[in-house]
Each structure stands twice: as C-alpha cells, then as structure tokens.
Amino acid sequence: MSDKATVSTSVDTFNDGGSYYVRTEIEARLVGIHGPFPDLDTAKRLQAEQAAYAKTAGDQFKAQLQGTAAASPASKASG
C-alpha cells in the first residue's frame, strides 16, 4: 500500500570536563503498510514473515550505521 522513509541528522559539539566532543546522530524510520489481504490467516502468515525480514534488515542496517560512524572524519581524528 505505502512505505514512508525518513532520515534525520544532527551534529553538535559539547564540552565535558575541559574536553571537547563532536556528537553525531542519524535517525532512520520506515513505516510500511501493505494490503489488503483476503483473510486473517494470510495476514498473520505475512506478519510473521515480515517480522523475520525486518529483524534481518534492521541488523544489516545497524551494521552499516556502525561502519559509517567508524569511517567518519571525527571518529578517525579521535583515534
């Protein structure tokens, strides 16, 4: 039926105990609505399949975000 993806980012600096830090936030959200399906059994079966797919996709996305964070200029500069 529809999918809506949003990504928001924020980068700021802060001081803690005389040291300076750069904080980066990347938030992603995907809302998908699919159907209609002919009966509850079909919808429940697809819900279970979608839950397994979403977990795998979420794990892969998390790994990609962690790689992105590690490759960032601020991460490299801080050693």
Please provide residue 51's backbone torsions phi and psi, each rounded to the nearest 5 degrees: -65, -45
Q: How far apart are CA 66 and CA 58, in angstroms?
A: 12
Whether 57 contacts 3, CB under 8 Å:
no
Domains of the chain: which residue ranges?
2-78
Instruction: Express each pLDDT in 22-68 by its tens digit.
Output: 999 999 999 999 999 999 999 999 999 999 999 999 999 999 999 99
4 has which bridge partners? Answer: 31
Q: Stretch 66-79: mean pLDDT, rounded?
A: 91
- Please state the pTM of the whole predicted model: 0.73
Mean pLDDT of the chain: 94
